Structure 1
Amino acid sequence: MRLLKVATCNLNQWAMDFDCNLKHIKESIAEAKEAGAVIRLGPELEITGYGCEDHFLELDTVNHAWECLKEILLGDWTDGILCSIGMPIIKGSERYNCQVLCFNRKIVMIRPKMWLANDGNYRELRWFTTWKQKDQLVEFQLPPEISAALSQTSVPFGYGYIQFLDTAVAAEICEELFTPIPPHTELTLNGVEVFLNASGSHHQLRKLDLRLRAFIGATHTRGGVYMYSNQQGCDGGRLYYDGCCCVVVNGEVVAQGSQFSLKDVEVVVAQVDLDAVASLRGSISCFQEQASCKTRVSSVAVPYNICRPFNLKMLLSCPQKIIYHSPEEEIAFGPGCWLWDYLRRSGASGFLLPLSGGADSSSVAAIVGCMCQLVVKEIANGDEQVKADAIRIGNYTDGQFPTDSKEFAKRIFYTVYMGSENSSEATKMRAKLLADEIGSWHLDVCIDSVVSSLLSLFQTLTGKRPRYKVDGGSAVENLGLQNIQARIRMVLAFMLASLLPWVHNKRGFYLVLGSSNVDEALRGYLTKYDCSASDINPIGSISKQDLRMFLRWAANHLGYSSLAEIEAAPPTAELEPIRSNYSQLDEVDMGMTYEELSAYGRLRKIFRCGPVSMFKNLCYKWGARLTPSEVADKVKHFFNYYSINRHKMTVLTPSYHAESYSPEDNRFDLRQFLYNSRWPYQFRKIDELVQESDGNKIAFTESGDHKKLGATAGVGGMGVVAAASGNPKAGL
């Protein structure tokens, strides 16, 4: 048996904080060595942090990375252990995203990334170039100060692998695994048995299974040991890197790290038998045949044995059940951990949330409550870094520290119910009850006097006073009156966040939390610069449907039972007067349901559908209950409001990325914000298709079968109800 002990890790790095990142790297190496591992794998670009973005274009960033690597190599950190360390490197006039493979205080090989992530949230081609010379390793001249310090002038650079006396090891960096022809396919045929995948992969709801299936598939039919390391935490942007480092052997997971954690350093160790890899490959006839005519890949010889001989006292890591979190747990833990990183690294002393008693703001409150629970739990588990951060943020003295999540929440979390004459007693009481369950410092504020003052000022200026539509006012008046309330809440929230700590003799400032969801952003159902205009938003990329599932889960699993009643209540902005024959409802105001919005969002972004393609798809999907004419009206209604409100996406609060159809303009969904909202060409094409369908009297059912139709009906369902209702979240 050739026994090999390996270590991979989750590291909570912070872009451009070299001291923090170097400390975590050293801690992970120390833990790996203490466990007896002879290979240590770290995440992609771990020295600089993955999210440096245009800082990668600065020479200082690359130079500082070399300085940190030099400090590692001049110590005993790499003695007897192969360390894969991620950093940017400039070779000639090109900048590469690299894994630097170090052993016994020397750089053995530098492996540049060959396929870069350049879609969705990623723009690696903006900062790096791909390595294209696959047929050879070239000599890379080390920077003079590094060369002098290490007594090493050059190092092999390029695509290849390391050949030890008893096994072969190669890197496969993040995106490369997911390409149509990943490097490991030919590396396995060249005898590579251990693969090192350094990654910077963000969390997205329901995404983990895709990643794990890729690791399993890479070794299930080819054999091999696949090690995966990832960033974990918020390194300074909208993404939360969700860790889940792991080791896979011959298609079976034998070690798995946490997906959501407040730990800065988490090391996972596994002991594997490489003979099991050789045995599997030797038993597959087609593998043998293909290996006999393989394309040769260059290698670097390292004359050392890194495997251990057979020992009865050594235990192998056995296959284990993969740990998956439910979407509800992902919503609780992912944004909760992201908020903690943002809070402890921003210098803020806590959060302030405008809590309306509705589903969205209550979801944010529950996530903050979950964060407080996680902090107390990690302190109880002995995490000294979490403890130190909590003592500082919570302003504890005399050796005290958080032991109760509600007590901790009281110190770092303000909730404010900002009611008006249009608010109901029910939402007011729900907000108060939830605040008590979480433990926040809760305030009840009436904004009517401020609204009245502004309206009086307007009347003095113009001689007119606007009225709500239920009182005979126009759509323009109705819209203006609602927007006044919404924007007053934004001003009040920021004033309280900056001054309440001073009132309570606390240091620092509080961050204002937003609570608009991804569906409302997609539709533009939010007032520009209202209380959705906050510092950060933990639910800005989560759908309404997922949030409602989360509320039901949190009512039982987080101990906030009032969330069940909040989830059951119909969503309403409460910005118009309540009458016996009228009550404002979000879905009526929008002219579409949240379920429909999710369908529109996925077709628009994930399936890249314009209006005509969306119409065709929805005719198949909804054909059993809607006519083509009704589908057409719905699609037109959506694209009309999507386009007239697209400008709001340019000022969306930075939000946690969790959903692949997010309309977030700054990083993820790069589209114009000035549209011809009539879509004349596209809508005309839809009309032609509808007329053709009416002529044939044929539509499609959900199963794809044809059915005869009668006369074309009017708009069904939510259709175009309130298309010009003047709701505050539909206009400017």
Structure 2
Amino acid sequence: MGHYVTLATCNLNQWALDFEGNRDRIIASIVEAKRQGASLRVGPELEICGYGCLDHFSENDLYDHSWEMYAQILEDSRTQGILLDVGMPIIHKTIKYNCRIISYDGKILLIRPKLHLANDGNYREMRYFTPWNRPKYHETHMLPKLLREITGQHSVPFGDCIIETLDTTFGAETCEELFTPQSPHIAMALDGVEIFTNSSGSHHELRKLDTRLELITEATKKCGGVYLYSNQKGCDGDRLYYDGCACIVVNGEMVAQASQFSLADVEVISATIDLDDVRAYRSQKSAQLQAVQQLESYHRISADIELVASGHTFDPTLKPSTVQPIRYHLPEEEIALGPACWLWDYLRRSKCAGYFLPLSGGIDSCATAVLVHSMCRLVVEACENGDKQVISDVQAMCHQESDWIPENPQAIAKHIFYSSFMGTENSSKETRSRAKELAAEIGSYHIDMNMDTLVTSVVSVFEVATGKKPIFKIFGGSITENLALQNIQARLRMVLSYLFAQLLPWTRQKQGGLLVLGSANVDECLRGYLTKYDCSSADINPIGGISKTDLKKFIGWASVNFKMPILDDFLNATPTAELEPITENYVQSDEIDMGMTYDELSRFGRLRKVEKCGPLAMFIKLYHEWSQPPLNLTAEQVAEKVKRFWFFYAINRHKMTTMTPAYHAEQYSPDDNRFDLRPFLINPRFPWASKKIDEVVEAITKREKEIEASNLSVE
């Protein structure tokens, strides 16, 4: 006859320390889950306080405020009649834990602490929390006075337990536990758990979603069951964008999937599942025979609750959800959507008047401008779909009346997006023209200016003070003079950017200041191909975690999908900083200046960070790759490239200490402030590693000569 149960999970756009706002979004998700007929609602990790509180987790106030918000959720009549899985931090016996709280009708059934903590890359959970290193063990937790008064409970179970209702059994795991070799859902499944919940704070990286969804589907493919995945969504106050994609999987098949990128603060999905399907699937796996081999069972907490709809009465109107294909975005779409959503959250929460972008006419600042355009497109789409929160936010941001709805992205951009081409005598007509045309296409308030007078005045100050006048290299100057003359242009652009960002709204009789956008890509940051405190110094940088290669693909995609053929001109232009004079025989080129291509930089970056290679290991890997067709490089050539990369990486590492907070999108991000913790003063020659590389090169060369001599003797 079937045992149909409707379950709900959600994406929530929570904000670190926004206790009341987070509470309201949690309640809204519960109300929506009930509207969809769900008997269980799952929310994201640490949803009450926000996942990204960082060192605020060290403050005891945060835990008190979390309990206060949780008490208000329990007291709200709208949260009754549904089983709730809510995330918040808790102090137990003076130790801080990352926890799930399971409740029903105002009564807490279980507090389940996280067993395995995320502690690499962007995550430092062990800095704040202690893992519950005791699987299947539980204790008693004394509730705070406020909760005792509300629930009538003095204490509740605290530990790794499972909930047994009248018709099924479910257990919770949290984020990182899915990624560990011995995930809790395996032991739970062998002990009869049919429904698993996973509450996460998982951030977006390009091409990462398939890894996450593969683990989620595999979790129930191998042992059967229902898996409800919930995730944080949006920018909760830092460099990360949590990319949602809540989903419900049954026996390895997707039956419901939420969006990965959207501006909706609350997104709830549900699915109706026949628990008999789980039981039949498991009977084929002989799971019941494996379960009896478990030495220790979970402590079961009995709940006098029925999750199955209509009890044992057949309801012909209730239909199980059908299997659907998993949805993935192309990397180009991920770039278009992820940073755009992040930009929207950052702007509306900072309460600034808009964004200011130094628009150079090159592909990096072009990509940044197009991301702002993509943000505006998403806002228009959300308004058309009737998203009241987005409508309210954009009206306030653009200082418009309550009946104003933007007709197109340009209608938003003209209010909140400002750009400027800050040209010098070294700028070409082509870059100036491209910048102006792109600004017109996007709808930004654009300033086309020259800053030669400013540059000349600053250089004159130095000349008067020292009696020395620096000149460019192509006119006979030294490398030192050449570099200084380039850097002063870049640094003055930064000064002008902040001046314009503060005053441009004032010139239009608008209130507030602008956030300055940076546009240095991840490869240039890795190589250090930027001037410290130049126009890469900004308030935020939406492309700072994206490679040049991916940015070019994104611009090609946007040219077609955003119907902006002007982008093809940026795509086909030679990347150049335009900081040196242009002559008949010389035009500055980024890749020539760097001494390496952007494709090479991407490979260096992945080997260094993702594959954890030092100079020697990197050389050996790249020799095997680049000595083959089509490159056919010699060992000496590969060694030279590797040594050059490590040298410039090392001497420019100090620049990462001052880099603009950038959207994190790439695993080899060199972000010194959080993601890539490396020293910034090291010997750039890597002398011992270089000697070892030379030894390998010598061995390779000797062996190649032996092989060549052997082949000649045979002939």
What's the TM-score, normalizing by structure 2?
0.97
Alignment-derived partner of residue 618 in structure 1: 622
Name the CA distance, whole Å, in 1 between partners of 2:503 and 2:334: 33
Name the CA distance, whole Å, in 2 between partners of 1:375 and 1:93: 45
The aligned amino acid for 1:417 is F
- Counterpart of 1:215 in 2: which secondary structure? helix
The aligned amino acid for 1:568 is N
2:396 is the counterpart of 1:399: no
Alignment-derived partner of residue 380 in structure 1: 384
Alignment-derived partner of residue 663 in structure 1: 670
Alignment-derived partner of residue 89 in structure 2: 88
The aligned amino acid for 1:288 is Q
1:401 deviates by 3.1
1:289 deviates by 2.3
Alignment-derived partner of residue 10 in structure 2: 9
2:651 is the counterpart of 1:644: yes
Alignment-derived partner of residue 438 in structure 2: 434
Alignment-derived partner of residue 235 in structure 1: 236
Name the CA distance, whole Å, in 1 between partners of 2:710 and 2:156: 73
The aligned amino acid for 1:205 is L
Name the CA distance, whole Å, in 1 between partners of 2:710 and 2:52: 54
Per-residue displacement from partner, 1:283-322 (whole Å, max 9, x unpaired)? Answer: 223x232112123111101122211243211111111111
Q: 1:480 aligns with which of 484, 488, 494?
A: 484
The aligned amino acid for 2:420 is V
Name the CA distance, whole Å, in 1 between partners of 2:675 and 2:648: 20
1:75 deviates by 2.1
Name the CA distance, whole Å, in 1 between partners of 2:466 and 2:230: 64
Alignment-derived partner of residue 609 in structure 2: 605
Alignment-derived partner of residue 317 in structure 2: 313
Alignment-derived partner of residue 599 in structure 2: 595
Q: Which residues of structure 2 form unaligned runs of 5+?
A: none
Number of equivalent positions = 703
The aligned amino acid for 1:199 is S
Alignment-derived partner of residue 217 in structure 1: 218
Name the CA distance, whole Å, in 1 between partners of 2:527 and 2:647: 9
Q: 1:354 aligns with which of 349, 354, 358?
A: 358
On the 8 A contact 1:79/1:103 being kept in 2, the answer is yes
Alignment-derived partner of residue 629 in structure 1: 636
The aligned amino acid for 1:469 is K
- Counterpart of 1:13 in 2: which secondary structure? coil
1:692 deviates by 1.5
Alignment-derived partner of residue 424 in structure 1: 428
Name the CA distance, whole Å, in 1 between partners of 2:178 and 2:422: 50
Task: Note the aligned Cα RMSD (angstroms).
Answer: 1.3
Q: Quick check: 565-574 or 537-546, which moved more?
A: 565-574
The aligned amino acid for 1:693 is I
On the 8 A contact 1:78/1:102 being kept in 2, the answer is no
Note the 1:124-523 alignment, pairs <5 A: 124-285=125-286, 287-294=287-294, 295-308=296-309, 309=312, 310-397=314-401, 399-523=403-527
1:457 deviates by 1.0
Name the CA distance, whole Å, in 2 between partners of 1:597 and 1:709: 37
1:698 deviates by 6.7
The aligned amino acid for 1:480 is A
On the 8 A contact 2:27/2:79 being kept in 1, the answer is no
The aligned amino acid for 1:193 is E
Q: 1:627 to 1:134 in 2, by over 3 A?
A: same
Name the CA distance, whole Å, in 2 between partners of 1:662 and 1:637: 19
Name the CA distance, whole Å, in 1 between partners of 2:419 and 2:364: 14
Name the CA distance, whole Å, in 1 between partners of 2:173 and 2:565: 47
On the 8 A contact 2:395/2:402 being kept in 1, the answer is no
On the 8 A contact 2:235/2:342 being kept in 1, the answer is yes
Alignment-derived partner of residue 97 in structure 1: 98
The aligned amino acid for 1:365 is A
- Counterpart of 1:172 in 2: which secondary structure? strand
Q: 1:707 to 1:510 in 2, by over 3 A?
A: farther
- Counterpart of 1:323 in 2: which secondary structure? coil
Name the CA distance, whole Å, in 1 between partners of 2:540 and 2:369: 13
Name the CA distance, whole Å, in 2 between partners of 1:427 and 1:637: 30
Note the 1:558-573 alignment, pairs <5 A: 558-573=562-577
Q: 1:683 aligns with which of 682, 690, 703?
A: 690
Per-residue displacement from partner, 1:377-417 (whole Å, max 9, x unpaired)? Answer: 10111011101110111111373232221121011101100
1:77 deviates by 3.6
1:175 deviates by 0.3
On the 8 A contact 2:170/2:193 being kept in 1, the answer is yes
Name the CA distance, whole Å, in 1 between partners of 2:401 and 2:147: 45
Name the CA distance, whole Å, in 2 between partners of 1:254 and 1:709: 63
- Counterpart of 1:179 in 2: which secondary structure? coil
- Counterpart of 1:464 in 2: which secondary structure? coil
1:608 deviates by 0.5
The aligned amino acid for 1:569 is A
Name the CA distance, whole Å, in 1 between partners of 2:418 and 2:284: 64
Q: 1:579 aligns with which of 567, 570, 583?
A: 583
Alignment-derived partner of residue 725 in structure 1: none
- Counterpart of 1:46 in 2: which secondary structure? coil
2:47 is the counterpart of 1:46: yes
Per-residue displacement from partner, 1:141-199 (whole Å, max 9, x unpaired)? Answer: 11122112211111111001000111001001000011001001110011100001000
Per-residue displacement from partner, 1:266-285 (whole Å, max 9, x unpaired)? Answer: 00011111110000111223
Name the CA distance, whole Å, in 1 between partners of 2:19 and 2:117: 24
Alignment-derived partner of residue 77 in structure 2: 76
- Counterpart of 2:77 in 1: which secondary structure? coil
The aligned amino acid for 1:335 is P
Per-residue displacement from partner, 1:472-521 (whole Å, max 9, x unpaired)? Answer: 11000000000010001000000000001111111111000000000000
What's the TM-score, normalizing by structure 1?
0.95
Per-residue displacement from partner, 1:550-600 (whole Å, max 9, x unpaired)? Answer: 000001111221111101111000000111111100000000000000010
On the 8 A contact 2:31/2:79 being kept in 1, the answer is no
1:445 deviates by 1.0
2:676 is the counterpart of 1:672: no
Per-residue displacement from partner, 1:195-247 (whole Å, max 9, x unpaired)? Answer: 01000000000011011111110001211000000000000000000000000
1:136 deviates by 2.3
Note the 1:708-727 alignment, pairs <5 A: none
Q: 1:135 to 1:249 in 2, by over 3 A?
A: closer
On the 8 A contact 1:15/1:52 being kept in 2, the answer is yes
The aligned amino acid for 1:44 is E
The aligned amino acid for 2:67 is W
1:254 deviates by 0.2
Name the CA distance, whole Å, in 1 between partners of 2:307 and 2:458: 75
On the 8 A contact 1:697/1:709 being kept in 2, the answer is no
- Counterpart of 1:340 in 2: which secondary structure? helix
**Between the two proteins, what is the percent identity of the paired residues?**
54
Q: Which residues of structure 1 form unaligned runs of 5+?
A: 700-705, 711-732
Name the CA distance, whole Å, in 1 between partners of 2:163 and 2:709: 67
Q: 1:531 to 1:698 in 2, by over 3 A?
A: farther
On the 8 A contact 1:270/1:316 being kept in 2, the answer is yes
Alignment-derived partner of residue 726 in structure 1: none
